[in-house]
Amino acid sequence: MPERNAFAKPQFEPLGEAALLLRFGDRLESELAHHVQSFARGLRASTPPGVLDLVPAYASLAVHFDPLQIDLDAVAAWVRTRLREGDHGRSARDGRRIEIPVCYGGDYGPDLADVAAHAGLSEEAVIALHSGGDYVVAMIGFLPGFPYLLGLDPRLEMPRLPTPRPEVPAGAVGIGGAQTGIYPQQSPGGWRLIGRTPEQLFDSARAEPSLLQPGDRVRFVAIAALDFKRLQREQPA
């Protein structure tokens, strides 16, 4: 577990002319991500005029602001005050718990066999490990709605493809290094694809466009191809 002072004393860095970057560390750890998310929630409860957005990542937090309303020094002073107060808001552990159905293998997960071979496991064992894990959304990035999930069993860690695919379908569930994630839209991508979900990860017409948010707890549920097709038909057009 990260030491308290590693969280309480982030480094402050300008990020262009309209953002402040807080660096809380450089580790890919769930506990540190929890701290960043919790602090971001606390800041959102009392944002001053001119602060536009807060974007948490694994070990950093970007504070975006309108320089015509507030300057960098004032934003930094506000953040330092909140750090001294020690009120970091609702714990990221209180995030929603969401189940994501996944059809593994075959055309839905063309890299499942390679992941199994790399791990020295059967495909069935890979599916059991991946769907049996408890994951936390550490950050949203790369594409709108793309969740980077921490909690992957170390036995399933897998290098990215040496050459990314030009097209990865929306809903593809992949493994990249020590992380797992879901492609919300069709895009290029280099993660190892082991399955696909019929859930719509991002929809700009929804009140909350992104299905998942930092701090949410995710569990994958293995489904059959027939269930995938049925659930896909039930998704909003």
- Tell me if 107 sits within 8 A of 226, measured CB to CB: no
- Give DSSP secondary structure letters for 141-161: -SSTT-EEEE---GGG-BPPP
pLDDT at 94: 58
Confidence of residue 25 (pLDDT cuts 50, 70, 90): confident
**Once rounded to an integer, what is the mean pLDDT over residues 2-31?**
76
Confidence of residue 87 (pLDDT cuts 50, 70, 90): low
User: Of 93, 112, 137, which residue sits at a domain end?
Assistant: 93
- 47's tokens: 């944002």
Q: Given a cut of 80, is residue 237 above it in pLDDT?
A: no
**Once rounded to an integer, what is the mean pLDDT over residues 2-24?**
77
Confidence of residue 88 (pLDDT cuts 50, 70, 90): low
- Give DSSP secondary structure letters for 182-207: E-SSSEEE-SEEEEE--S--B-TTSS
Which segment of 21-35, 46-60, 127-141 scores lowest on mean pLDDT? Answer: 21-35
Domain of 133?
95-234
- 61's tokens: 């937090």
What would the pLDDT profile of 133-142 be if each residue is shown by its tens digit?
999 898 888 8
pLDDT at 97: 93
CATH code (residue 48): 3.30.1360.40
Instruction: Say whether both 49 and 121 belong to one domain.
Output: no
Instruction: Say whether both 121 and 196 belong to one domain.
Output: yes
> Which is nearest to 192 in space by CA: 85, 116, 92, 95?
116
- Tell me if 217 sits within 8 A of 97, measured CB to CB: yes
What would the pLDDT profile of 142-161 be if each residue is shown by its tens digit?
889 999 998 999 999 999 99
Instruction: Say whether both 57 and 112 belong to one domain.
Output: no
Which segment of 55-64, 67-76, 167-176 scores lowest on mean pLDDT? Answer: 55-64
**Once rounded to an integer, what is the mean pLDDT over residues 18-24?**
92
**Once rounded to an integer, what is the mean pLDDT over residues 51-69?**
91
Instruction: Say whether both 112 and 140 belong to one domain.
Output: yes
Residue 4 or 125, more confident: 125
User: Of 58, 93, 128, which residue sits at a domain end?
Assistant: 93
Which residues are CB-neighbours of 155 under 8 A, at least 6 positions away?
Answer: 119, 121, 129
Instruction: Say whether both 143 and 192 belong to one domain.
Output: yes
Share of the chain above pLDDT 90, in %: 63
User: Of 76, 93, 110, which residue sits at a domain end?
Assistant: 93
pLDDT averaged over the chain? Answer: 89
What whole-number distance in Å separates Cα of residue 155 and Cα of residue 178?
9
Share of the chain above pLDDT 70, in %: 92
